[in-house]
């Protein structure tokens, strides 16, 4: 099982086992990770699962699609190079060890 680590603003880390094929958001919600609100349930319509992907994983997670880009542009208070909606990142075996930072406030 791939592991995904979520890092809160205060630096607290939470590593969870994720199932390949589920999203980084689903793994967070299933494991009660604080800060991932996921209001729309993974439908890419709310941006309340915004994360900052660490630089070493950017190439592996790929670029955001058009709808995700729009949500990140309009709804996210602090957009960074690694900004992604965690609902749009499918977990794969290659992402084992993925680390994402959770913004202090979701939209």
12: CATH: 3.10.20.30
Residues 6+ apart with CB under 8 A from 50: 72, 75, 76, 83, 84, 85, 86, 103, 106, 107
Distance CA 70, CA 73 (A): 5
- The residues facing 76 across adjacent strands are none
- Specify if 70 maps to a domain: yes
- Specify if 40 maps to a domain: yes
Show the domain range for 58.
Answer: 3-102
Distance CA 12, CA 99 (A): 12
Distance CA 85, CA 47 (A): 6
| Whether residue 77 has pLDDT greater than 80 | no
The domain total for the chain is: 1
- Specify if 23 maps to a domain: yes
Q: Among 20-34, 62-76, 78-92, where is mean pLDDT lowest?
A: 62-76
**Residue 107: band (very low, low, confident or very high) from pLDDT cuts 50, 70, 90:** confident
- Specify if 67 maps to a domain: yes
- Specify if 64 maps to a domain: yes
- Specify if 107 maps to a domain: no
Q: What is the pTM of this model?
A: 0.94
- Specify if 93 maps to a domain: yes
């Amino acid at each position: 099982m791939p592991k995904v680590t979520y890092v809160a603003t205060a630096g607290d880390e939470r590593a969870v086992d994720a199932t390949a094929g589920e999203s980084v958001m689903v793994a967070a919600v299933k494991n009660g990770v604080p800060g991932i609100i996921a209001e729309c349930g993974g439908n890419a319509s709310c941006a309340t699962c915004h994360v900052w992907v660490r630089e070493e994983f950017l190439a592996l997670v790929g670029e955001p699609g058009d709808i995700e880009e729009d949500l990140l542009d309009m709804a996210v208070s602090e957009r960074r190079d690694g900004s992604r909606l965690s609902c749009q990142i499918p977990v794969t075996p290659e992402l084992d060890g993925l680390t994402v930072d959770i913004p202090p406030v979701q939209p």
